[in-house]
Amino acid sequence: MEVIDRVFLLQRVDVFVNVPSHHLAHIARLSQEVEADAGAVLLRADETADAMYVVIDGELRVERAGRAAFFVRSGEAIGALAILDDAPVGLEARVVRRSRLLRLTSRALGDLLHDHPDFAESLLRGMATRLRWLLELAARDTVPNVRPVRVPRIDRAVEQEAPSP
């Protein structure tokens, strides 16, 4: 998969929705394309995550303590929050059918955050959207059929020119 195709894929991921394209290009170059067979476990509940995964094509099933599962499909990611700390993931992600994935390690993401503070700000906004969705899941104790709504990027120049309400 070419870098530009990876950027287009990353633009669909909820945690990256506010990240400018030039930073997505960095992520695209730092990530590795991997294949995983059905049944492979990418994340284990009692272990820390060393990488996050974006589904290129295929499908993952995510469970928490054996309870209701949700599926991660093309253009969606798993492990984005987990690679930011050293705590156990708290969920299991298993490949449902042979899948192609982008794998971004916590080290690569950490280096990018360190080198580009503006990337950190845009990533935090996407993470906040993901966190709200996860809190809603926990409160309802059910799994919705859809992921969080993706918020369109705002052009800072236009935002600054807009009159106050």
Burial class for 105, CB neighbours closer than 10 Å (0-12, 13-18, 19+):
middle
Q: Are 53 and 93 in contact (CB under 8 A)?
A: yes
**Average pLDDT estimate for 140-163:** 43
CB hemisphere CA count around 109 (13 angstroms): 22
**Distances, alpha carbon 133 to alpha carbons 7, 47, 116, 148, in Å:** 24, 23, 26, 6
pTM above 0.85, yes or no: no
Which residue ranges form the domains of the chain, and what is each CATH number? 3-140 (2.60.120.10)
pLDDT tens for 87-132 read 888 889 999 999 999 999 999 988 988 888 888 887 877 778 777 8
